[in-house]
Amino acid sequence: MSRFLTSACIALLALLVANAVQAAVITIEGTVKSVDAKKRTISVKTKTKTLDLDVSRKAKVSVKGKTAKLDSLKVGQAVKLDYHDGLEIVLKIDVSPVGVLFDGSTLNGWDFNSKYWKIADRTLVGTCPAKLGRGGAFIATKVKYKDFSVTFKYRVKHGNSGFFLRCQTDTGSFQKYNGIQADIGPGITGIGSCFHGPVGSPTVASPARIQLLKVERSWEKDGWNDYTVTCIGDDISCDVNGVKIMSWKDRQKPRQGHIAIHLHGVQATTILIKNITISQL
């Protein structure tokens, strides 16, 4: 009888421990902000905050069920983590695949005017004269996207550009596409980034001064800078060189549209962009 009770107690204790361990595991969803494979750390941006987490050496990393390496994760990539709250360590990472919007060799999948957009040295080069007018020149994806994180590297030689999110074709306007825009240009992303609403509307969000100072310290005036724009439901955020410039609640509709890059036609503009990738969330 005592042996039976002892066995039952052991089994019950094991069940309680197993349940306690399972209860300590929480799910974290977000996008990758940075990864250090040597230190086994990952920084993940969720809807409300950024988390800096340690990754177990036995943690499983997978993309659509296929094993992947921690150092293969890219900034802006969507991830779902199993995190042990008690041990304070990541046990598992499920990664959404990253799609390539521009691979440096073709512009398949884009709608553009070859007079203003071309490929040179595996880089997308946009150039327009000041006399082009307010409508400027666009290059836009043929496919519409809903929730996503887009990353790219860019250099602005001169002029003013913009990155349009979920934009719509607008035959009634002086420009072909219309939507929310994150500014790209010297003195703009050089010290921050501003979101603008549809054409003719005022700025809807501006960066805080403290964030601008952080960007200034990392800004490469004559080199490449990193840009990440994330749209999840109403939430839109912008990062420059890993610094979160701003976030904004987008109350406008529709929630799905083209991704586009704009050359401001009022001033002569030349912009270089490469490594455009997208992670659909």
Mean pLDDT over 169-179 rounds to 77
d(CA 69, CA 141): 30
Q: Record the pTM.
A: 0.76
184 vs 5, more confident = 184
Closest CA to 258 of 61, 84, 41, 112: 112
Which residue ranges does the chain devote to CATH 2.60.120.560?
A: 99-280
- For the record, the structure tokens of 138 come out as 């666009």
Could you name the CATH architecture of 25-95?
Beta Barrel (2.40)
The mean pLDDT value for 246-269 works out to 86
Whether 149 shows a pLDDT value over 80: the answer reads yes
CATH 2.40.50.320 in the chain: give the residue spans: 25-95
Q: Which is more confident, 20 or 42? A: 42
Q: Are strands 117-120 and 177-184 parallel, antiparallel or unpaired?
A: unpaired
The pairing of strands 258-263 and 161-169 is: antiparallel
The superfamily in CATH containing domain 99-280 is Exo-inulinase; domain 1 (2.60.120.560)
